[in-house]
Amino acid sequence: MTGDIPNLSPVAAATALLRAGVPPGEVLKLMEPREGLLNSGQVANAEVVSLKQLGQDFQLLLKLTMDNGRQTTLPVSSSLPLTPGTTVNVAQGSADTLTISVQDLQKAITNSLTSLDTRQLPPGTLLQGKVLTTQVMADNVAQLTGQSTGSAATQPATYRSIVMLLNTALAGSSLTLDSPQPLRVGSLLSAQVQNSQALNFIAMPNRLDELALAQQLSTQQSRQGSLQSLLTALQNLPPPTSDASAADDLSPQLRASITQLLDDLPDLPQMTTAKGVAQALSASGLFMESRLLAGQDPTLVPDMKANLLRVIAQILPGLPGNVSYNDAAAANTLARLMPNVIRNALGTLGLVAAPKVPTNFPLPSRTLANAENNDDLEILLKLAAGAISRLQSHQLGGLEQTRMNADGTQVTTWQLEIPMRNAHDIVPLQVKVQREDTPDREETPETATQEVKAKEKLWRVDLAFDLEPLGPLQVQAQLVGGSLSSQMWAEREGAAELISGELDSLRARLVACGLNVKELACNRGVPAQGSRTVLEQRWIDENA
């Protein structure tokens, strides 16, 4: 989409005002009436500090400077978009109005840039800005209301916007643009300079999204707590008492929510079947937001995140009656539950690169509270909030690793955690799944066979869990075109040897499933840290 910069002269601006029905003396309506702000006949200098569009009107913040030097700020509404930095002279017409003179008004509406100096901003320069206002042009308003006839009535709509520039030497200046589509007020945009009167809008660079993601990932990782801590605490809660005089902070609704959360956990036999694994992945909480976006109710199906939020909702009503309740601490805890994705990082857009947050897999175990008094509601709330942050750390980690490689290969990552019941223990299984999709390329007879192989999806699966008596284990596997290769790591002494002795049995079971098994090995220790992002680091060569 392109945007034209209208070359408006003061005369043309005044004519546009008359055509729009704006009176010669623009009236600003005070949001809060101020009696006696200016004496009769007194004129004050006013500077527009900010501009905000509200429907077809605009809200301005003015800084008034009186003759005696006294300053005050006033919120006013206007029918015209007076850009920040504009200075005008105003007089008070009544307790709730200010009036701008005609000469000042003509100057004010041409304060926004209507052309670019290509010596300062040569063609190809990237401009970034924030949309302050968007209005349909007067001619289009006439078309929509049926006041125009002939060929003009069939002309496409044109929208005029004021954009605050955020980069280059013109940062802080406003620019008037005409575009064939309305620009959303408050949105950020990027455009390349074509010439002094035209810009070419381009897709917003990923830097802002990367910055927001990195900040949220860092925040959630610092707040996360192990799922095992919460689930163990819930398992060990004392049973409900039949003594009416005994204090029991857990309401029947809360106990029911806790029971639902624990009952939805898969057990080890379920995780040995393909259907059971698929159900566990679906119920991990990874897809709660996508269900909401699709208009589905996540509470109608097993969902770890929805169950945790239900437990939190049942804990909150009981907190004020708790003798150890601290409202400030509870408010701080609640502020941690859901990430507030930062979309207004204007001061850093294009100036500061997103901080690189190391992708942690597996997430380390982290306990937020002492094991004592885990039946206290406030402690349970903190553990549940930490569990929510842990699930979100996995979700954000998957987004951070989803990318497009330089060769056009699309890498999609899902990262999640599944707590499994093993008798009376809770065993969290951390999972990371990556899929590589190669771009379509034009085939020739000589390369047809290679292209078919290249289009085969490459899957990577990482697992991490701590299962007695083997201890902490990590698994990395690759699958492409039916060929599987896997490496395993065991931290405990003797565990690697024990697993290595069972690899032949594992190979036979995988072959029985129709897979071509190549490398299977188990090592002592932990895998080397760092993402595997290039094809040269694959364990198998599918073109061999």
CA distance 299 to 312: 14
Give the model's pLDDT for residue 142.
45
Per-residue pLDDT for 540 more than 70? no
User: Average of pLDDT values for 247-274?
Assistant: 87
Per-range mean pLDDT, top range of 64-68, 164-168, 330-334, 424-428: 424-428
The ranges assigned to domains in the chain are: 207-401, 403-544
Confidence at 261, pLDDT banded by 50, 70, 90:
very high
Average pLDDT of the chain to the nearest whole number:
76
Top pLDDT among 542 and 230 is at: 230
CA distance 25 to 11: 16
Top pLDDT among 203 and 412 is at: 412
Q: Which of 142, 162, 134 is nearest to 55 (CA)?
A: 134
Per-residue pLDDT for 247 more than 50? no
List pLDDT tens digits, range 422-443. Answer: 888 899 999 999 999 887 655 5
Confidence at 325, pLDDT banded by 50, 70, 90:
very low
Per-range mean pLDDT, top range of 112-126, 430-444, 483-497: 483-497
Q: What would the two tokens of residue 11 be? A: 């005369």
Q: Where are the alpha helices (DSSP H) in 6-64?
A: 10-19
Give the model's pLDDT for residue 375.
58
CA distance 88 to 43: 10
pTM of this prediction? 0.56
List pLDDT tens digits, range 314-323. Answer: 887 766 555 4
Helix axes 252-263, 227-235, angle to 10 degrees: 120
Confidence at 479, pLDDT banded by 50, 70, 90:
very high
Top pLDDT among 111 and 165 is at: 165
List pLDDT tens digits, range 91-106. Answer: 887 888 888 765 555 5
Confidence at 124, pLDDT banded by 50, 70, 90:
confident
Give the model's pLDDT for residue 164.
86
For 403-544, CATH gives 3.30.750
Per-residue pLDDT for 8 more than 70? no
DSSP letters spanning 420-462: EEETTEEEEEEEEEEEEEPPP----TTTHHHHHHHTSPEEEEE
